[in-house]
Structure 1
Amino acid sequence: MPNDTVIPETTVDIALIEAHIRDVPDFPREGILFKDITPLLNHRKAFAASIDALAAPYRGMGVDHVVGLEARGFIFGTPVAMELGAGFVPARKAGKLPSETIGQAYDLEYGTATVEIHADAITPGSRVLIVDDVLATGGTGRAAVELVRRAGGTVVGFSVLMELSALQGREKLPDVELHTLLSV
C-alpha cells in the first residue's frame, strides 16, 4: 500500500491552515525552526479546516477508533474521531495510563522510549486511523502502527497535519496509507 497520498488542495484551504502556523527560530534550542500550531488552534476556521481535512479521506470507511499520539495528536485526534463517529484511543508515554497497557518501544536519537495504549482499547478486527500533528522521524508513528496491529486492529491510515520531509519519517511507514496536509 503506497504511503505517498496527499489530500488534493481543492478540498482543503491549505493557505488558511499554513497562515496559522508560526515559525519560531531557535526553539527549543539554537538551530531548530519550530513549527508552532497554537495560532492554528486559536483560529476557529483554520482549526476546523484542519480537522475536516484530516478526517476527509476516511469518511465512509468504517473507522472504529482513532488513535491520537501524545500529546498534540490528542488535540487533533479527538475531533477527528468525533467527525468519523469513532472512539478515541490515547497513545501515551509509558506509565501514564491507569489500567493494563500494551507498549511498543521505539528509538530516539539517544536511547529509546515507549508508547502505550490500554490493553482493551482496540478490539480485534477494529479499523483504526492514527492521527498526529507532525510526522518527523517516524519512530512514534511506527510504534503506534505496531501497537494497533498487536491489539488485533487494522490500520486504515495515518493522517498528519504536517510532515517534516527532511527527516524522512515516511520511510518508516511504507506499509501505511499516509495522508499529510502540509509538507515542510
Structure 2
Amino acid sequence: MTTATMDLKQHIRGIPDFPKPGILFYDISTLMRDADAWQVAMGRMTRAVAPWAPDMLAAIESRGFLTAAPLASRLGCGLVMLRKPGKLPGATVSHEYDLEYGSDTLHIQADAIRPGQRVVVMDDLLATGGTLAASVALLRKVGANVVGAATLIEIRALGGRDRLDIPVESLVSYDD
C-alpha cells in the first residue's frame, strides 16, 4: 500500500459504548501509534489546511492539541490553545455555549490573537458541531479572521458541518 492509497479508517479503532452506552467512540490513538499512518494523516492535513494560509492554528482541548501541534510545525505558523476554565495562565476571554446535555465554556488567553490574524480551528472530531461553533465564536470575539476548520474525523450523520459558516476539511468521514 502506498501513502496515496492508505485508508486511514483502517487505523482508527471504533470502541462501542464509550464513554456511555450507545456511543461509538472513534479512537485516534491507534492511528497515532502507527508511524506511517500518522505521517500520512499529517501530510494530508497539511495539504488540506495550507491553502487557507493560516497565521495561527487554534487547537481545541485536548485532542485538538495532538493534530494542531505537528501541523503548526509543518506549516510554519503559530498555535494557540482553546481550553476549559482554569487551565490557562494570565488574562483570558471566555465563551459559554450549550451542549445537548448542558453547557460548557472555552477560554483563550486575551493576548493570544492579534486582530485580523488568519486562524484555522483544529480538533480531532466533528460530530454535532457545538464545540467547533463555540470555538469560532470565541476566536471572533478576540478579533480573529477564522478562515476554516479541520478535523481528522467527521460523523456526517450528526450534521455538525451545517452549524458552521466556514469551510471545513475532514480526513475521514463516517455516515453513522
What TM-score comes out, normalization by structure 1 length?
0.88
Amino acid at match of 2:169: H
Tell me the C-alpha RMSD between the 2 structures: 1.5
- Aligned partner of residue 152 in structure 2, secondary structure: strand
Alignment of 1:102-113 (within 5 A): 102-113=93-104
Measured at CA, do residues 41 and 143 of structure 1 come closer, stay the same or move farther in structure 2, by a change above 3 Å? same
Compared with structure 1, are the counterparts of its residues 177 and 61 closer, same or farther at alpha carbon in structure 2 (3 Å cutoff)?
closer
- Is 1:100–2:91 an aligned residue pair? yes
Partner of 1:21: 12
Partner residue in 2 for 1:182: 172
Q: Percent of pairs identical after alignment?
A: 44
Secondary structure in 1 matching 2:83: strand
Measure the CA separation in 2 of the matches of 1:123 and 1:53: 28
Provide Cα deviations, 1:21-50, integer angstroms capped at 9, x if missing partner: 011112222222111111101011111111
Q: Secondary structure at the match of 1:74?
A: helix
Please report how far the alpha carbon of residue 13 of structure 1 lies from its aligned counterpart in structure 2 after TM superposition: 4.3
The one of the two structures with greater contact order (alpha-carbon pairs below 8 A, sep at least 6) is 1
- 1:47-58 mapped onto 2 (5 Å cutoff): 47-58=38-49
Deviations 1:29-82 (A, max 9, x none): 222211111110101111111112122133254311100101100000111111
Task: Report if aligned partners of 2:49, 2:150 keep a CA contact under 8 Å in 1.
Answer: no
After superposition, where does 1:114-153 map in structure 2 within 5 Å?
114-153=105-144
Question: Aligned in 2, Cα 1:12/1:142: closer, same or farther, shift over 3 Å?
Answer: farther
Length, aligned pairs only: 172
Q: Could you list the runs of 5+ residues in structure 2 that have no partner in the other structure? A: none
Question: Over residues 117-161 of structure 1, what are the superposed CA-to-partner deviations in whole Å (9 max), with x where a residue is unaligned?
Answer: 101001011111111100011111011111121111111110111
**Are 1:172 and 2:172 an aligned pair?**
no
Q: Is the counterpart of residue 83 in structure 1 residue 63 in structure 2?
A: no
Deviation >2 Å, runs of 4+: 11-14, 57-62
TM value normalised by structure 2? 0.92
- Describe the superposition over 1:83-120 as per-residue Cα deviations: whole angstroms up to 9, x where unpaired: 11011101001221111111111111222100111010
In structure 1, the gaps of 5 or more residues are: 1-10
